[in-house]
Amino acid sequence: MKKILLTDSHKDKLFQIPLFRDLPLNIKLSLLEKLEFVIYAAEKKEIVVTQGTPCNKLYVLLEGKLRTDIIDGLGNEVMIEYIIAPRTFATPHLFNTNNTLPATFTALEDSILLMATKESTFKVISQDPQVLHNFLCIAGNCNICTVSRLKPLSRKTVRERFIVYLYEHKKKDSLVVNIMHTQSQLAEYLNVSRPALSKEINKMIKEGLVTMEGKRIVILDQITLEKYL
């Protein structure tokens, strides 16, 4: 990665992230003065930060898209999620006792990142109640996302993982699920092969459990599917 200068566009993106959103103008100006940071440009496929390294920075993706992977206990690489700008990442780990990064983050396209020191971030958070509130909300949401992500991976069969995924992403009181991934990405997300996932989805369609058109899935037999949960 290479260092670049902060632009007005970067500032606008910084104040769009949930941590610093909807702050009064005077707080925004003081925030930029208090925060000690560097702006980096990352090229496509470049590793931004690696799993296991100390998390001593506030990481903000201002532009672009990152892929998040972890190496599990068996040495397998597991894709966790895609991070789309503008947003922070690995935020809850900044102030943990064991504050090592839980994953490796790789640029999927040319990206712009802001990295602020832990000390200056703490100063900003501790001195403004709204920023502190935002930080606590982000930390709570990250924990919920982690639990949601691990649910399908805890299941053994392809069908179980796919059904858990559907129920994690469908809206309440709706039988329609709009998938955000392509089938290749979904297979990677569920840590299964694409042919195995495609075969299982086709079997479920033939059994009358679901219909699928593009990225839109309709649950037809809710009673049968819920037996796998």
pLDDT single digits (tens) 21-34: 888 888 888 888 89
- Judged against a pLDDT cut of 80, whether residue 7 lies above it is answered with yes
Closest alpha carbon to 229 in 149, 142, 167: 167
User: Which amino acid, 43?
Assistant: E
The pLDDT of residue 190 is 84
| Range among 10-14, 24-28, 30-34, 140-144 with highest mean pLDDT value | 10-14
- Judged against a pLDDT cut of 90, whether residue 187 lies above it is answered with no
The pLDDT of residue 60 is 94
The pLDDT of residue 8 is 93
Q: Give phi and psi for 175, each to the nearest 5.
A: -105, 10
Strand-pairing partners, residue 37, are 116
Q: Which domains does the chain have, with CATH numbers?
A: 2-153 (2.60.120.10), 158-226 (1.10.10.10)
pLDDT band at 90, cuts 50/70/90? confident
3-state helix/strand/coil string of the chain: CEEECCCHHHHHHHCCCCCCCCCCHHHHHHHHHHCCEEEEEECCCCEEECCCCECCEEEEEEECEEEEEEECCCCCEEEEEEEECCEEECHHHHHCCCCECCCEEEECCCEEEEEEEHHHHHHHHHHCHHHHHHHHHHHHHHHHHHHHHHHHHCCCCHHHHHHHHHHHHCCCCCCEEECCCCHHHHHHHCCCCHHHHHHHHHHHHHCCCEEEECCEEEECCHHHHHCCC
The more confidently predicted of residues 73 and 83 is 83
pLDDT band at 44, cuts 50/70/90? very high
